[in-house]
Amino acid sequence: MHRVSDVTVIIPCMNESGSLPDVLARIPDGYQVIVVDNNSTDDTAAVAQNLGATVVTEAQPGYGSAVHAGVLAADTEIVCVLDGDGSMDPQDLPPLVAALDRADLAVGRRRGGNSPIHARLGNAVLSLRLRTKYKLPVHDLGAVRAVRRQALLDLNVSDRRSGYPLQLLVLASKAGWTVTELDVTYNPRTAGVSKVSGSVKGTIVAVRDFWKVLT
């Protein structure tokens, strides 16, 4: 069993000031929180700081850049990664953390929500590739995950764009990690527009980044 003080939740953000209050309010008691401000033009950093989160600024654009900055800034045994748009419930994190007693990486399979068809199709195709080529028992690309911090750093995930979560899974498979997938709640984002699934263009760019990792 892991102590709550052993866990840091990393929230990569760009312009999520409208969603952050609800997200931060639902962080499990005792977990540390790092909000990584990735070139926001709104009050994301100020909102996070006023609500008690540690704020890290990452100027290099990209989801992977923001996540990596948060991992480097954390000092706990375990790190979790969660989007800051309110679409996922931080209260789903403790089962993922608990799963690390038997696994090297725990990822969430989003259930519910209302993703656009182009986003669902892209996710389904890439997840199928992970199951068939890499023998990973996953049906989602892991927008929420829990992992031991040092093991993650040692894995040397180098993608700094949208391909970060996919490269993490590929490298985990190659390293012989045990990966487990648990259902997590998925709801429409509470404010703003998704940088990826919010447009066909955003999804195409993300899928292109993903596919580079797989080929």
Render pLDDT for 16-40 as a digit per residue (tens, 0 to 9).
999 999 999 999 999 999 999 999 9
Give the chain's mean pLDDT: 91
CA distances from 93 to 66, 79, 81 (A): 19, 10, 9
Find the domain containing 135 and state its range: 4-214
Q: What CA–CA distance (Å, rounded) separates 39 from 87?
A: 21
What are the pLDDT digits (tens) for 133-187? 999 999 998 789 999 999 999 999 999 998 999 999 999 999 999 999 999 999 9
Strand positions, DSSP E, the chain: 7-13, 32-37, 54-57, 78-81, 105-112, 145-148, 179-186
**Residue whose C-alpha is closest to residue 85's, from 27, 134, 18, 25:** 18
- Arithmetic mean of pLDDT, 82-104: 97
pTM above 0.75, yes or no: yes
For 3, other C-beta atoms within 10 Å of its C-beta total 10
Whether residue 180 contacts residue 140, with contact meaning beta carbons closer than 8 Å, is answered with no
* Amino acid at site 174: K
Strand 7-13 to 78-81 pairing: parallel
Residue 33's pLDDT is what? 98
**Structural domains counted in the chain:** 1
Which of the pair, 203 or 57, is modelled with greater confidence?
A: 57
Amino acid identity for residue 57 in this structure = T
Distance CA 53, CA 62 (A): 21
pLDDT at 200 over 70: no
Closest to 77 (Cα-Cα) out of 32, 36, 35, 144:
32
Which CATH number covers residue 61? 3.90.550.10
Among 37, 40, 38, 83, smallest CA distance to 62 is for: 38
